[in-house]
Amino acid sequence: MTCSKIFSELPELLSEIIQYFRCDFSALHSCILVDRLWCRLAIPLLWENPFSIIHRETVTLLNIIKFVLLKFIWLI
């Protein structure tokens, strides 16, 4: 296999690899800092569902509030 063939398939291979990090926002953020090719492949995954991070944090916060309120009600 020649070098030109390897480099011509590189974006497709990287795309397959980066797809495994679809839910790992920290890894995707690191990928966008590598170079332009990695950035071009990782940015669409980060923007695919931009509010999913906020939603997860909100759910966690709501669970904490619910837990504290239930404990408070039992104390009364």
Q: The tokens of 64 are what?
A: 């904490």
pTM of the model: 0.56
What is the chain's length?
76
SS3 breakdown of the chain: % helix, strand, coil, rounded to 5? 80, 0, 20
Q: What would the pLDDT profile of 43-66 be if each residue is shown by its tens digit?
A: 898 888 766 665 555 567 677 777
Q: Max Cα separation, the chain?
A: 76
Under 8 Å between Cβ of 38 and 21: no
Amino acid 17: pLDDT:
79
Q: Has residue 72 got a pLDDT over 80? A: no
Q: The tokens of 1 are what?
A: 């296999």
Amino acid 31: pLDDT:
84
Q: What would the pLDDT profile of 2-44 be if each residue is shown by its tens digit?
A: 656 555 667 787 888 788 888 778 888 888 898 888 889 888 9
